[in-house]
Protein backbone atom coordinates (compact mmCIF):
# COMPACT_ATOMS: atom_id res chain seq x y z
CA UNK A 1 0.00 0.00 0.00
CA UNK A 2 1.31 3.42 -0.88
CA UNK A 3 -0.17 6.91 -0.78
CA UNK A 4 1.88 9.63 -2.48
CA UNK A 5 1.14 13.30 -2.08
CA UNK A 6 2.91 15.23 -4.79
CA UNK A 7 3.30 18.97 -4.33
CA UNK A 8 -0.31 19.53 -3.29
CA UNK A 9 -1.69 23.00 -2.50
CA UNK A 10 -5.19 24.08 -1.58
CA UNK A 11 -6.14 27.74 -1.91
CA UNK A 12 -9.30 28.94 -0.14
CA UNK A 13 -9.07 32.65 -0.97
CA UNK A 14 -6.61 34.79 -2.93
CA UNK A 15 -4.44 35.07 0.17
CA UNK A 16 -5.36 32.00 2.26
CA UNK A 17 -3.83 28.61 1.59
CA UNK A 18 -5.03 25.60 3.59
CA UNK A 19 -1.88 23.68 2.60
CA UNK A 20 0.99 24.75 0.39
CA UNK A 21 3.45 22.70 -1.74
CA UNK A 22 2.85 19.63 0.38
CA UNK A 23 4.67 16.42 -0.56
CA UNK A 24 4.68 13.21 1.45
CA UNK A 25 4.99 9.46 0.89
CA UNK A 26 2.92 7.34 3.25
CA UNK A 27 3.47 3.61 3.73
CA UNK A 28 1.78 0.92 5.86
CA UNK A 29 1.45 1.69 9.55
CA UNK A 30 0.13 4.61 11.55
CA UNK A 31 1.08 8.12 10.50
CA UNK A 32 0.37 10.71 13.18
CA UNK A 33 -0.41 14.05 11.57
CA UNK A 34 0.39 16.51 14.28
CA UNK A 35 -0.11 20.26 14.17
CA UNK A 36 -1.82 23.16 15.97
CA UNK A 37 -5.29 24.54 15.16
CA UNK A 38 -5.47 25.83 11.61
CA UNK A 39 -2.30 23.99 10.53
CA UNK A 40 -4.02 22.38 7.54
CA UNK A 41 -4.60 18.84 8.85
CA UNK A 42 -8.29 18.62 7.92
CA UNK A 43 -7.64 20.31 4.57
CA UNK A 44 -5.10 17.61 3.73
CA UNK A 45 -7.34 14.79 4.97
CA UNK A 46 -10.34 15.99 2.96
CA UNK A 47 -8.16 15.97 -0.16
CA UNK A 48 -6.88 12.47 0.61
CA UNK A 49 -10.45 11.28 1.22
CA UNK A 50 -11.44 12.75 -2.21
CA UNK A 51 -13.98 15.07 -0.54
CA UNK A 52 -12.17 18.12 -1.84
CA UNK A 53 -9.85 18.70 -4.78
CA UNK A 54 -6.40 20.26 -4.56
CA UNK A 55 -5.87 23.60 -6.31
CA UNK A 56 -2.58 22.25 -7.66
CA UNK A 57 -0.65 19.01 -7.26
CA UNK A 58 -1.62 15.35 -7.35
CA UNK A 59 -2.33 12.44 -5.03
CA UNK A 60 -1.57 8.84 -6.04
CA UNK A 61 -3.07 5.75 -4.39
CA UNK A 62 -0.87 2.77 -5.30
CA UNK A 63 0.41 4.81 -8.27
CA UNK A 64 -3.13 5.63 -9.52
CA UNK A 65 -3.93 9.36 -9.83
CA UNK A 66 -7.00 9.83 -7.61
CA UNK A 67 -8.24 12.83 -9.61
CA UNK A 68 -8.59 10.52 -12.63
CA UNK A 69 -9.83 7.45 -10.76
CA UNK A 70 -11.19 8.38 -7.31
CA UNK A 71 -13.07 5.05 -7.05
CA UNK A 72 -9.81 3.10 -6.74
CA UNK A 73 -9.18 4.90 -3.47
CA UNK A 74 -12.78 5.28 -2.30
CA UNK A 75 -13.36 1.51 -2.46
CA UNK A 76 -10.57 1.00 0.06
CA UNK A 77 -11.14 4.08 2.19
CA UNK A 78 -12.51 4.51 5.70
CA UNK A 79 -12.89 8.14 6.76
CA UNK A 80 -13.91 9.75 10.00
CA UNK A 81 -14.25 13.50 9.38
CA UNK A 82 -13.59 15.97 12.19
CA UNK A 83 -17.17 17.27 12.04
CA UNK A 84 -18.81 13.89 11.83
CA UNK A 85 -22.60 14.13 12.09
CA UNK A 86 -24.94 11.33 13.12
CA UNK A 87 -28.67 10.87 12.68
CA UNK A 88 -30.02 11.24 16.22
CA UNK A 89 -33.22 9.28 15.58
CA UNK A 90 -31.46 6.13 14.40
CA UNK A 91 -29.95 3.57 16.73
CA UNK A 92 -26.39 2.30 16.23
CA UNK A 93 -27.39 -0.71 14.14
CA UNK A 94 -29.77 1.28 11.93
CA UNK A 95 -27.16 3.99 11.40
CA UNK A 96 -24.43 1.52 10.48
CA UNK A 97 -26.79 -0.30 8.10
CA UNK A 98 -27.58 3.03 6.48
CA UNK A 99 -23.88 3.88 6.08
CA UNK A 100 -23.18 0.40 4.67
CA UNK A 101 -25.94 0.93 2.09
CA UNK A 102 -24.40 4.28 1.08
CA UNK A 103 -21.07 2.53 0.64
CA UNK A 104 -22.82 -0.02 -1.58
CA UNK A 105 -21.95 -2.98 0.62
CA UNK A 106 -23.63 -6.34 0.22
CA UNK A 107 -26.39 -6.63 2.87
CA UNK A 108 -25.30 -9.96 4.34
CA UNK A 109 -21.63 -9.00 4.55
CA UNK A 110 -22.62 -5.64 6.04
CA UNK A 111 -24.81 -7.20 8.73
CA UNK A 112 -22.05 -9.57 9.81
CA UNK A 113 -19.53 -6.75 9.87
CA UNK A 114 -21.87 -4.49 11.88
CA UNK A 115 -22.22 -7.19 14.54
CA UNK A 116 -18.42 -7.45 14.78
CA UNK A 117 -17.96 -3.69 14.99
CA UNK A 118 -20.68 -3.18 17.61
CA UNK A 119 -18.79 -5.67 19.75
CA UNK A 120 -15.29 -4.32 18.92
CA UNK A 121 -16.28 -0.77 19.82
CA UNK A 122 -18.14 -1.71 22.96
CA UNK A 123 -21.51 -0.54 21.73
CA UNK A 124 -23.49 -3.74 22.39
CA UNK A 125 -25.37 -2.45 25.42
CA UNK A 126 -26.74 0.60 23.60
CA UNK A 127 -26.91 -0.73 20.06
CA UNK A 128 -30.70 -0.39 20.00
CA UNK A 129 -30.89 3.00 21.70
CA UNK A 130 -31.22 6.20 19.63
CA UNK A 131 -27.84 7.82 18.93
CA UNK A 132 -29.28 11.18 19.98
CA UNK A 133 -29.03 10.06 23.60
CA UNK A 134 -25.37 8.93 23.35
CA UNK A 135 -22.46 10.61 25.11
CA UNK A 136 -19.80 12.35 22.99
CA UNK A 137 -17.45 9.38 23.38
CA UNK A 138 -20.10 6.91 22.24
CA UNK A 139 -20.90 9.01 19.18
CA UNK A 140 -17.21 9.06 18.37
CA UNK A 141 -17.14 5.27 18.59
CA UNK A 142 -20.04 5.09 16.13
CA UNK A 143 -17.99 7.34 13.84
CA UNK A 144 -15.04 5.00 14.09
CA UNK A 145 -17.29 1.98 13.47
CA UNK A 146 -18.68 3.46 10.23
CA UNK A 147 -15.13 4.19 9.05
CA UNK A 148 -14.25 0.51 9.56
CA UNK A 149 -17.33 -0.96 7.82
CA UNK A 150 -15.51 -1.95 4.64
CA UNK A 151 -12.33 -3.09 6.44
CA UNK A 152 -10.46 -0.23 4.70
CA UNK A 153 -6.87 -0.42 3.48
CA UNK A 154 -6.63 3.33 3.99
CA UNK A 155 -8.11 4.62 7.23
CA UNK A 156 -8.20 8.39 7.73
CA UNK A 157 -9.35 9.64 11.11
CA UNK A 158 -9.47 13.36 11.83
CA UNK A 159 -9.15 14.20 15.55
CA UNK A 160 -10.68 10.86 16.56
CA UNK A 161 -10.01 11.14 20.29
CA UNK A 162 -11.89 14.41 20.87
CA UNK A 163 -14.60 13.76 23.45
CA UNK A 164 -13.18 10.44 24.62
CA UNK A 165 -12.53 9.94 28.33
CA UNK A 166 -9.10 8.59 29.41
CA UNK A 167 -10.25 4.97 29.44
CA UNK A 168 -11.82 5.26 25.99
CA UNK A 169 -8.68 6.97 24.74
CA UNK A 170 -6.57 3.99 25.80
CA UNK A 171 -9.06 1.60 24.22
CA UNK A 172 -8.98 3.61 21.01
CA UNK A 173 -5.17 3.60 20.91
CA UNK A 174 -5.14 -0.16 21.35
CA UNK A 175 -7.68 -0.54 18.55
CA UNK A 176 -5.56 1.58 16.22
CA UNK A 177 -2.46 -0.48 17.07
CA UNK A 178 -4.36 -3.71 16.36
CA UNK A 179 -5.61 -2.35 13.02
CA UNK A 180 -2.28 -0.99 11.89
CA UNK A 181 -0.97 -4.19 10.37
CA UNK A 182 -1.24 -4.30 6.61
CA UNK A 183 -2.96 -0.96 6.09
CA UNK A 184 -2.29 2.76 6.16
CA UNK A 185 -3.80 4.72 9.02
CA UNK A 186 -3.56 8.50 9.08
CA UNK A 187 -4.56 10.01 12.38
CA UNK A 188 -4.62 13.75 12.93
CA UNK A 189 -4.46 15.40 16.30
CA UNK A 190 -3.00 18.31 18.19
CA UNK A 191 -2.70 16.15 21.30
CA UNK A 192 0.81 14.76 21.37
CA UNK A 193 0.04 11.85 23.68
CA UNK A 194 -2.58 10.51 21.25
CA UNK A 195 0.09 9.34 18.86
CA UNK A 196 2.98 8.68 21.21
CA UNK A 197 2.05 5.04 21.66
CA UNK A 198 0.46 4.30 18.28
CA UNK A 199 2.24 6.13 15.45
CA UNK A 200 5.12 4.53 13.59
CA UNK A 201 5.81 7.87 11.85
CA UNK A 202 4.97 11.46 12.63
CA UNK A 203 4.36 14.27 10.16
CA UNK A 204 4.53 17.69 11.77
CA UNK A 205 2.47 20.30 9.98
CA UNK A 206 2.04 24.01 10.56
CA UNK A 207 0.69 26.88 8.48
CA UNK A 208 -0.03 24.51 5.63
CA UNK A 209 3.56 23.30 5.40
CA UNK A 210 5.13 19.96 6.22
CA UNK A 211 7.85 20.64 8.79
CA UNK A 212 9.22 17.13 9.07
CA UNK A 213 8.29 13.47 8.71
CA UNK A 214 10.21 10.99 10.83
CA UNK A 215 9.92 8.38 13.56
CA UNK A 216 9.24 9.38 17.15
CA UNK A 217 12.78 8.30 18.03
CA UNK A 218 14.27 10.53 15.33
CA UNK A 219 12.16 13.45 16.48
CA UNK A 220 13.30 12.99 20.07
CA UNK A 221 16.97 12.68 18.99
CA UNK A 222 16.73 15.92 17.05
CA UNK A 223 16.07 17.87 20.26
CA UNK A 224 18.57 15.99 22.41
CA UNK A 225 20.67 18.56 24.35
CA UNK A 226 18.04 21.25 23.88
CA UNK A 227 15.75 20.59 26.84
CA UNK A 228 16.61 22.04 30.24
CA UNK A 229 15.12 22.23 33.67
CA UNK A 230 15.78 25.43 35.53
CA UNK A 231 14.46 27.38 38.49
CA UNK A 232 13.47 31.02 38.14
CA UNK A 233 11.83 33.45 40.53
CA UNK A 234 8.25 34.62 39.91
CA UNK A 235 9.31 38.13 38.93
CA UNK A 236 11.51 36.80 36.10
CA UNK A 237 8.81 34.53 34.75
CA UNK A 238 7.13 36.76 32.17
CA UNK A 239 10.51 37.77 30.74
CA UNK A 240 11.56 34.12 30.44
CA UNK A 241 8.23 33.18 28.89
CA UNK A 242 8.68 35.86 26.23
CA UNK A 243 12.17 34.66 25.37
CA UNK A 244 11.94 30.88 25.54
CA UNK A 245 9.70 27.95 24.71
CA UNK A 246 8.43 26.68 28.05
CA UNK A 247 6.97 23.18 27.89
CA UNK A 248 5.98 23.03 31.55
CA UNK A 249 6.11 25.08 34.72
CA UNK A 250 5.57 23.96 38.30
CA UNK A 251 5.50 26.28 41.30
CA UNK A 252 7.59 25.00 44.22
CA UNK A 253 8.87 26.53 47.47
CA UNK A 254 12.23 27.57 45.90
CA UNK A 255 10.68 29.17 42.79
CA UNK A 256 9.20 28.19 39.43
CA UNK A 257 10.61 24.95 38.01
CA UNK A 258 10.56 25.33 34.25
CA UNK A 259 11.18 23.00 31.37
CA UNK A 260 12.81 25.09 28.65
CA UNK A 261 13.34 24.00 25.05
CA UNK A 262 16.09 26.05 23.44
CA UNK A 263 19.26 26.06 21.36
CA UNK A 264 20.97 28.55 23.66
CA UNK A 265 20.21 28.82 27.33
CA UNK A 266 21.53 31.70 29.40
CA UNK A 267 20.67 30.59 32.94
CA UNK A 268 23.24 29.63 35.53
CA UNK A 269 20.91 27.33 37.43
CA UNK A 270 20.05 24.68 34.82
CA UNK A 271 20.06 20.93 34.24
CA UNK A 272 19.91 19.08 30.92
CA UNK A 273 16.99 16.61 30.75
CA UNK A 274 15.73 13.99 28.28
CA UNK A 275 13.32 15.38 25.72
CA UNK A 276 9.69 14.28 25.46
CA UNK A 277 7.60 14.32 22.32
CA UNK A 278 5.79 17.37 23.66
CA UNK A 279 9.15 19.22 23.93
CA UNK A 280 10.06 18.28 20.36
CA UNK A 281 6.63 19.30 19.05
CA UNK A 282 6.86 22.73 20.69
CA UNK A 283 10.40 23.22 19.39
CA UNK A 284 9.38 22.61 15.77
CA UNK A 285 6.06 24.40 15.91
CA UNK A 286 7.53 27.48 17.60
CA UNK A 287 10.34 27.56 15.10
CA UNK A 288 7.90 27.59 12.21
CA UNK A 289 6.05 30.46 13.86
CA UNK A 290 9.27 32.43 13.80
CA UNK A 291 9.71 32.61 17.57
CA UNK A 292 13.08 32.99 19.20
CA UNK A 293 14.34 29.72 20.69
N1 LIG B 1 -13.72 25.67 3.80
C2 LIG B 1 -12.82 26.61 4.11
N3 LIG B 1 -12.90 27.86 3.62
C4 LIG B 1 -11.97 28.81 3.91
N5 LIG B 1 -10.91 28.59 4.71
C6 LIG B 1 -10.78 27.37 5.24
C7 LIG B 1 -11.72 26.32 4.98
N8 LIG B 1 -11.29 25.21 5.65
C9 LIG B 1 -10.17 25.55 6.29
N10 LIG B 1 -9.85 26.85 6.06
C11 LIG B 1 -8.66 27.55 6.55
O12 LIG B 1 -7.51 26.81 6.16
C13 LIG B 1 -6.55 26.73 7.22
C14 LIG B 1 -6.32 25.28 7.60
O15 LIG B 1 -7.50 24.79 8.20
P16 LIG B 1 -7.72 23.27 8.62
O17 LIG B 1 -9.13 23.12 9.08
O18 LIG B 1 -7.25 22.41 7.52
O19 LIG B 1 -6.70 23.15 9.88
P20 LIG B 1 -6.59 22.03 10.99
O21 LIG B 1 -5.14 21.73 11.16
O22 LIG B 1 -7.50 20.91 10.67
O23 LIG B 1 -7.10 22.78 12.31
P24 LIG B 1 -7.88 22.20 13.60
O25 LIG B 1 -6.84 21.58 14.50
O26 LIG B 1 -8.48 23.42 14.22
O27 LIG B 1 -8.91 21.22 13.13
C28 LIG B 1 -7.11 27.60 8.34
O29 LIG B 1 -6.56 28.89 8.20
C30 LIG B 1 -8.60 27.60 8.08
O31 LIG B 1 -9.19 28.77 8.58
MG1 LIG C 1 -9.00 19.97 11.63
Percent residues over pLDDT 90 in the chain: 76
Q: What is the pLDDT of residue 293?
A: 55
**Span 30-35, mean pLDDT?**
96
Mean pLDDT of the chain: 93
**CA 21 to centroid of chain Cα atoms:** 20
Which residues 6+ apart lie within 8 Å of 73 measured at CB? 50, 61, 64, 66, 154
Same domain for 36 and 138?
yes
Same domain for 208 and 118?
yes
Same domain for 17 and 162?
yes
Q: What is the pLDDT of residue 291?
A: 53
Q: What is the pLDDT of residue 290?
A: 53
Q: Whose CA is nearest to atom 27 of ligand 1?
A: 37
Q: What is the Cα–Cα distance from 111 to 251, expressed in whole angstroms?
A: 56
CA of 83 to the centre of ligand 2 (A): 9
Q: Which of 176, 85, 167 is nearest to 131 (CA)?
A: 85
Check residues 223 and 138 and name the one with the higher pLDDT. 223
φ, ψ for residue 170 (rounded to 5)?
-65, -45
Q: Whose CA is nearest to atom 7 of ligand 1?
A: 12
236-287 pLDDT tens trace: 999 999 999 999 999 999 999 999 999 987 777 889 999 999 999 999 998 7
Q: What is the Cα–Cα distance from 256 to 179, expressed in whole angstroms?
A: 43
Residue 289 has pLDDT above 60, yes or no: no
Q: Is the CB of 43 within 6 Å of ligand 1?
A: yes
Q: What is the Cα–Cα distance from 189 to 191, expressed in whole angstroms?
A: 5
Residue 292 has pLDDT above 70, yes or no: no
Q: Which of 144, 155, 49, 54 is nearest to 95 (CA)?
A: 144
Residue 107 has pLDDT above 80, yes or no: yes
**CA 7 to centroid of chain Cα atoms:** 21
Same domain for 68 and 211?
yes
Q: Is the CB of 4 within 6 Å of ligand 1?
A: no
Q: Measured from the CA of 44, which atom of ligand 1 is nearest?
A: 18
Q: Is the CB of 40 within 6 Å of ligand 1?
A: yes
Residue 242: left (phi > 0), alpha (psi -120 to 50), or beta? alpha
CA of 196 to the centre of ligand 1 (A): 24
**CA 63 to centroid of chain Cα atoms:** 24
Same domain for 49 and 137?
yes
**Span 27-52, mean pLDDT?**
96
Q: What is the pLDDT of residue 268?
A: 77
Residue 149 has pLDDT above 60, yes or no: yes
Same domain for 27 and 132?
yes
Q: Is the CB of 37 within 6 Å of ligand 1?
A: yes
Q: Which of 60, 131, 65, 55 is nearest to 99 (CA)?
A: 131
Q: Whose CA is nearest to atom 26 of ligand 1?
A: 37
Residue 91 has pLDDT above 60, yes or no: yes
Probe target for ligand 1 pocket from 32, 34, 35, 42, with the most ligand atoms within 8 Å of CB? 42
What is the extent of the structural domain holding 255? 221-288
Q: What is the pLDDT of residue 164?
A: 82
Any idea what the CATH number is for the domain that residue 196 is in?
Answer: 3.40.50.300
Check residues 65 and 182 and name the one with the higher pLDDT. 65
Q: What is the pLDDT of residue 17?
A: 97
Q: Is the CB of 18 within 6 Å of ligand 1?
A: yes
Asked which of 219, 248, 274 is the last residue of a domain, the reply is 219
Count of structural domains within the chain = 2
Alpha helices in the chain (DSSP H): 41-48, 70-74, 92-102, 107-120, 136-148, 166-179, 192-196, 216-222, 237-243, 277-288
Q: Whose CA is nearest to atom 31 of ligand 1?
A: 38
User: Model pTM?
Assistant: 0.92
Amino acid sequence: MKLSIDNVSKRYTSTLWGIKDFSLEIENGVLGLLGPNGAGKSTLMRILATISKPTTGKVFWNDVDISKNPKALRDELGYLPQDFGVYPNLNAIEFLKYMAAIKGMDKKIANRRIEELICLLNLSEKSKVKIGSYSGGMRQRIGIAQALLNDPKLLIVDEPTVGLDPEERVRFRNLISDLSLDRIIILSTHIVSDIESTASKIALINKGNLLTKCTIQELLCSVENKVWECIVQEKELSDVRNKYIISSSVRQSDGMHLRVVTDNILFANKRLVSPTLEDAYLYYISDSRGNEK
